[in-house]
């Protein structure tokens, strides 16, 4: 099996902690870069590790990552994020069952896919400007309505 090397950025607070937020970018062909962000600054100031993941499908200049076929959107990149979750837990940057996910645009779709597959590892999820499956969050018994 081929292991995919994922280029990512980890911002750590000044105090060691096992609280972590994984941020998922839009695209899927966008990417995170190491730069200043008020959101990341706010999270690290509140003692969160912030992990910016660039799974396959991301485009990073001079470092080509494998592309994603149409039918694999939300599948293989979700697997990549699962590997990141395992690494964060094994490295002590996150606790099992206590990871937060944030996804914007395609990252919101991907956050949903990650939640479906790795539900026991995720504590909370925030999505902005994205398509998502509402059925993941609310179950309505139609017989009662």
- At residue 4, the pLDDT reads 41
Residue 51 backbone phi and psi in degrees, to 5: -110, 115
Tens digit of pLDDT at every position of the chain (145 positions):
333 445 778 889 998 999 999 988 777 666 666 777 888 899 999 999 999 888 776 666 566 566 666 766 667 788 889 999 999 999 999 999 999 998 888 888 888 889 988 999 999 988 887 665 555 554 444 454 4
- At residue 94, the pLDDT reads 95
- CATH number of the domain at 9-144, please? 3.40.50.1820
- At residue 110, the pLDDT reads 86
Burial class (CB in 10 A: 0-12, 13-18, 19+), 32: buried
Domain residue limits, the chain: 9-144
Tell me what percent of the chain is helix, strand and coil, each rounded to the nearest 5.
30, 20, 45
């Amino acid at each position: 099996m081929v292991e995919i090397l994922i280029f990512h950025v980890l911002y750590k607070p000044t105090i060691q902690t096992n609280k972590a937020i994984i941020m998922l970018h839009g695209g899927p062909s966008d990417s995170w870069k190491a730069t200043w962000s008020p959101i990341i600054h706010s999270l690290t100031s509140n003692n969160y590790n912030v992990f910016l993941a660039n799974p396959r499908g991301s485009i990073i200049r001079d470092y080509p990552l494998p592309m994603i076929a149409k039918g694999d959107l939300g599948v293989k990149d979700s697997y990549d994020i699962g590997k990141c979750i395992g690494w964060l837990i094994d490295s002590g940057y996150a606790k099992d069952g206590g990871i937060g996910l944030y996804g914007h645009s395609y990252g919101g779709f991907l956050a949903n896919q990650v939640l479906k597959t790795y539900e026991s590892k995720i504590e909370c999820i925030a999505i902005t400007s994205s398509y998502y499956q509402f059925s993941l969050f609310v179950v309505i018994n139609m017989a009662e309505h």
